[in-house]
Amino acid sequence: MSEDTARARQELALLLRRLNVELDAVGQRFAQLHGLNRTDVRALVAIMDAARRGEALTAGRLGEAVELRSASVTALVDRLEKVGHLRRSRDDADRRRVVLEMSDSAMAAGADHFGGLAQDMTAAMDAYTPAELAVVHRWLEDMTAVITRHARAEPPAAP
Amino acid sequence: MSEDTARARQELALLLRRLNVELDAVGQRFAQLHGLNRTDVRALVAIMDAARRGEALTAGRLGEAVELRSASVTALVDRLEKVGHLRRSRDDADRRRVVLEMSDSAMAAGADHFGGLAQDMTAAMDAYTPAELAVVHRWLEDMTAVITRHARAEPPAAP
DNA sequence: ACGTAATCTCTCGATGATCGAGATTATCGA
DNA sequence: TCGATAATCTCGATCATCGAGAGATTACGT
């Protein structure tokens, strides 16, 4: 691989990390605007993602998603419920479980903030052909796979 | 814009967020392995980035980078210095300042963890032509610009 | 030069997020 | 029914973060 090729690839990795930092900053800004902390936002995002997939998150699964112990999840849900972003309700099928549902107001606030971002991103993609976007799609999936492998376990890289 | 086009673009945005989550998980894993918390890792990354650009970070600038008040920065630097990841030293040019330097051991640990990731990502890019990578590069820069705008201030989107 | 304002970091006390251990409530299988 | 299992919550302790202000150093105006 030529020097230039290597440099170009490394630059892509750096760009991705920079993008990651800025995306975090967007979440941070949402938190400030609504008087939440970082964890609260991560939790709301996790619940919204689950809702998008059609599942309602339980307290336990939320704890897994944001890597918090059950005691902390209780406190977290207390906070979010107190400010009206969340509702607790017992699962009828398994009454040990507590399912979490976002309030309409929180959903609207999230849609406003992150939806606006998604809209701007979508608009910025006007400058790309479908073929180009397909390349980006493939690249993102490949990179996500690599990153996920590193996130789950120390890579079995050294044989 | 056709339905399919809109969906494809939205899917890219979702992919990007998923990637973001996984990238955070990599940092989380690094933190666990080294007995650090999320903020500590963000701080080390900020210092490493600054070092890459050839600047030495001061305590104040680090606070800006990770969005912490001065009192918290002092505590943060105390923690990292205590475990040997960091050195404080007064700036000779402006003796009010405290410049921060990563220890060799911390630098090595970071290079091992994140460098391994970068290497795997670079390797995964074998499957792309230079032209394709150029498209990805342009897309990442465009998206970063949009995201940065949202991170800095509520977008002046609605005219 | 000199005094004053500005800048940078640190100390202190208070608040709140998180955790570990254990209690509580609900479900399931023998 | 009863014990085992699972999900959630309570309690007390710990630690990260903050606001206010102090101490030290530099920059500026006269």
State pLDDT tens for residues B82-122. 999 999 999 999 999 999 999 999 999 988 888 899 999 99
Residue B46 has pLDDT above 60, yes or no: yes
Residue A153 has pLDDT above 80, yes or no: no
Beta carbon of A64 within 7 Å of strand C? no
Residue A155 has pLDDT above 70, yes or no: no
Say which range, B23-27, B130-134, B152-156, has the weakest mean pLDDT. B152-156
What is the reported pLDDT for B40? 95
What is the reported pLDDT for A144? 96
Q: Which two tokens stand for residue B28?
A: 């989380």
Rounded to whole angstroms, the Cα distance separating A109 from A34 reads 9
B155–A9 C-beta distance less than 8 A: no
Rounded to whole angstroms, the Cα distance separating B82 from B87 reads 9
Rg (CA), chain B: 19
Distance from CA of B42 to the nearest CA of A (A): 9
Rounded to whole angstroms, the Cα distance separating B84 from B154 reads 40
The mean pLDDT value for A22-32 works out to 88
The C-alpha torsion from A69 through A59 and A20 to B87, rounded to 10°, is -10
Q: Which two tokens stand for residue A70?
A: 């059950």
User: pLDDT averaged over chain A?
Assistant: 89
Residue B136 is nearest to which of A20, A33, A136, comparing CB atoms? A136
Residue closest to D5, CA→C1'? A96
Is the CATH code 1.10.10.10 the one for domain A3-103?
yes
Angle at B154 between CA B151 and CA B155, to 5 degrees: 95
State which residues between 33 and 72 of chain B bring their CB within 7 Å of strand C.
58-61, 63, 70-71
Q: Is A60 on the interface with B (CB under 8 A)?
A: no
Confidence grade of residue B73 (pLDDT, cut at 50, 70, 90): very high
Q: Which two tokens stand for residue A38?
A: 């970082």
pLDDT digits (tens, 9 = 90+) for A111-139: 888 889 999 999 999 999 999 999 999 99
Residue B155 has pLDDT above 60, yes or no: no
- Secondary structure element (H or E) that encloses residue A113, with its range: helix A104-124
CATH class of residue range B3-127: mainly alpha
B132–A9 C-beta distance less than 8 A: no
Q: pLDDT above 90 covers what percent of chain A? A: 53
